[in-house]
Amino acid sequence: MSINWISSFDEGVQKANEEDKLILLDFFNPN
């Protein structure tokens, strides 16, 4: 199983509220 990362912060917060879950926010450098 791979991690289905969400790329929109607002969408993630909304989903966290809908599913009553915490948020893991990964700031990364693609280079």
Partner 1 sequence: MDAVAYPDAAVSDFITRNFIPIRIQASDAELGPRFRIKWTPSLLILDKQGLEHNRTLGFFYPQELIPSLLLGIGKVFFDQPDRPKAISYFKQITMAYPESFQAPEAVYLKGVSQYIEDHDVANLFDIYECLKSRYPDSEWLMRADPYRLLKK
Residues that bind partner 1 (CB under 8 A): 1-9, 12-13, 15-17, 19-30
Min dist CB 1 to partner 1, Å, is: 5
Min dist CB 31 to partner 1, Å, is: 10
Min dist CB 18 to partner 1, Å, is: 9
Query: Are 6 and 12 contacting, i.e. CB atoms less than 8 angstroms apart?
Result: yes
Residue 6 CA, chain-centre distance (Å), reads 4
Q: What gap in Å lies between CA 7 and CA 9, rounded to an integer? A: 6
